[in-house]
């Protein structure tokens, strides 16, 4: 594990570096508070730190305050090294954001034990962050396909429409429905139906840009939000999506099954965020059902909308 050691005394710095390297730490050394704060505050910096209290420029407590003032999720466990022993000094250091302190000169065994405590706390913090992210993912993603769920994709649509209004850029939508999906379930069973839904989801994600959003709108329907895509571009993009599904049969436990999509498409410009999105969704839904009525495996383009 990486650890930063900050001390303006070169002899103390070298001794501490050697001691920590013998305990299998990857040591980064700095000789002033400004550099310590910079290294600890940058993305991907070390998450353990030994900081001398007395340094030129920024002292140890000032470094702690600077690091605690940043706004990201990576916690840094910081120990202050000090010759100060009064309770007032200790409180000052802890209130500045230090997690622990050691008086100088420190015993190697005590240093090792306190750093081990710091590592346990960081591991616990990582597990809590991981659990939080899993809960957040489950709250916004469809359990079968891992796409955005209906609520999340609609929230992303509203956000994209607001950005479109601010930046005077268009937003295009594709509402996709798997052709004859009920027949697939009836003939091959729901396990195969689930396989088809999962494979359609993968192909849709592969067919769009990284900054486009794909969500499971409901059942066998999928909504794709394409920011910055104009009407002339939408036709090319929609055909790429349709072809990505129809180009090759889907492998399932029941063998290869040909799959196609019917799609409704629309481009929106300067949408007023105070307007409801339901009329917009009805327009694209009507285009989708027209595509189905005309023989499926095709795209019908609704008239572009301008929200005033």
Q: Report the pLDDT value the prediction gives residue 71, as an integer from 0 to 100.
A: 67
Region 53-62: mean pLDDT is 88
Half-sphere exposure of 17 (CA within 13 A, CB side): 15
On the question of pLDDT at 11 being above 70, the answer is: yes
Class of domain 150-306: alpha beta
**For this structure, is 220 an active site residue?**
yes
Mean pLDDT (the chain, rounded) = 90
Classify residue 302 by its DSSP letter. Answer: P
Residue 201 tokens read as: 């989801």
State the first-to-last Cα distance of the chain, in angstroms, to the nearest integer.
56
pLDDT given at position 85? 63
Of 35, 195, 220, 221, the catalytic one is: 220
Cα torsion 106, 110, 115, 118: sign: negative
Q: Which of the residue ranges 70-79, 126-135, 255-264 has the most confident prediction, judged by mean pLDDT?
A: 255-264
Where are the CATH 3.40.50.2300 domain residues in the chain? 2-137
For 99-152, the pLDDT digits (tens) are 988 888 788 888 889 999 999 999 998 999 899 999 999 999 999 999 999 999
The topology under which CATH files domain 2-137 is: Rossmann fold (3.40.50)
- Output the pTM of the full model: 0.73
Helix locations, the chain, DSSP H: 10-21, 33-41, 60-68, 87-95, 108-140, 150-167, 181-188, 190-207, 231-246, 278-293
> What pLDDT score does 304 carry?
64
Q: Are 28 and 5 in contact (CB under 8 A)?
A: yes
How far is residue 277's CA from residue 284's CA, in Å, rounded to a whole number? 11
pLDDT digits (tens, 9 = 90+) for 146-155: 999 999 999 9
pLDDT at 301: 95
């Amino acid at each position: 594990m990486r650890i930063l050691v900050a001390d303006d005394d070169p002899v103390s710095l070298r001794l501490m570096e050697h001691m920590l390297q013998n305990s299998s730490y990857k040591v980064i050394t700095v000789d002033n508070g400004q550099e310590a704060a910079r290294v600890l505050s940058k993305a991907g910096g070390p998450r353990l730190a030994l900081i001398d209290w007395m340094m030129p420029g920024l002292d140890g407590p000032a470094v702690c305050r600077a690091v605690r003032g940043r706004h990201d999720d990576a916690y840094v466990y910081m120990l202050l090294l000090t010759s100060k022993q009064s309770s007032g000094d200790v409180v000052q250091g802890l209130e500045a954001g230090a997690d622990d302190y050691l008086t100088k000169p420190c015993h190697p065994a005590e240093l090792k034990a306190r750093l081990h405590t710091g590592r346990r706390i960081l591991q616990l913090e990582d597990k809590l962050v991981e659990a939080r992210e899993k809960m957040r993912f489950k709250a916004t993603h469809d359990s079968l396909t891992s796409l955005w769920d209906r609520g999340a994709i609609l929230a992303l649509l509203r956000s994209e429409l607001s950005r479109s209004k601010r930046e005077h850029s268009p937003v295009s939508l594709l509402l996709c429905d798997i052709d004859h999906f009920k027949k697939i379930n009836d003939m091959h069973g729901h396990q195969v139906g689930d396989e088809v839904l999962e494979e359609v989801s993968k192909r849709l994600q592969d067919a769009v840009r990284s900054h486009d959003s794909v969500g499971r709108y409901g059942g066998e329907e999928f909504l794709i939000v394409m920011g910055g895509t104009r009407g002339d571009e939408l036709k090319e993009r929609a055909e790429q999506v349709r072809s990505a599904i129809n180009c090759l049969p889907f492998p399932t436990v029941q063998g290869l099954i040909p799959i196609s999509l019917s799609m409704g498409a629309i481009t929106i410009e300067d949408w007023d965020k105070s307007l409801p999105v339901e009329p917009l969704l009805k327009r694209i839904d009507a285009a989708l059902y027209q595509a189905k009525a005309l023989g499926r495996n095709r795209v019908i383009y609704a008239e572009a909308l301008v929200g005033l």
